[in-house]
Amino acid sequence: MQVSLLILTFNKPPIVSLQGQPVLLYTQQHNSLLAALEFKRVRIFSECRNGFCGACKTKLISGQVKYKFEPIATLAADECLPCCCQPVTDINLDLSADGVDVVTNKQTA
């Protein structure tokens, strides 16, 4: 008798953290990482919103992002352009979580 094992895998939405504080789950409803951050009222500067100017350049402490298209602005290996990227893993950005609704243990207790 042969036993088949069905393994279901679910893609978990990436968790976006700011300096270690989880602030949101990134889902496909967000058009870009910048849009998701702005939705949570994260203070982040932007101008062109198309990967040209580099104004939204942000240090990526950990995790990986992918770009919808190749940005023009130059980046260091540990930087990303939230206006035109999406996280593909949980990410931790070097942005302040001040004034942002963060996930705390009090909310889950």
Instruction: Output the CA–CA distances (angstroms, integers) from residue 87 to 1, 5, 37, 44, 64, in the order listed.
Output: 44, 31, 12, 17, 6
What is the distance of C-alpha 104 from the center of its chain?
19
84: helix, coil or strand? helix
Does 15 contact ligand FES by CB under 6 A? no
- Which one of 4-12, 18-26, 50-58, 96-104 is the stretch in contact with ligand FES (CB under 6 A)? 50-58
CA-CA distances (angstroms) from residue 34 to 11, 46, 107?
21, 8, 25
Please name every residue paired with 92 in a beta bridge, in sequence order, or none if there are none: 17, 62
Tell how strand 79-80 and strand 91-93 pair up: unpaired
Member of 15, 25, 35, 48 binding ligand FES (CB under 6 A): 48
Rule CB under 6 A: say whether 36 interacts with ligand FES.
no
93 near ligand FES, rule: CB under 6 A: no
Binding range to ligand FES, per CB under 6 A, among 2-10, 12-20, 22-30, 47-55: 47-55
Using CB under 6 A, pick the residue from 73, 75, 100, 103 that binds ligand FES: 73
Q: Which stretch binds ligand FES (CB under 6 A): 21-29, 41-49, 59-67, 97-105?
A: 41-49
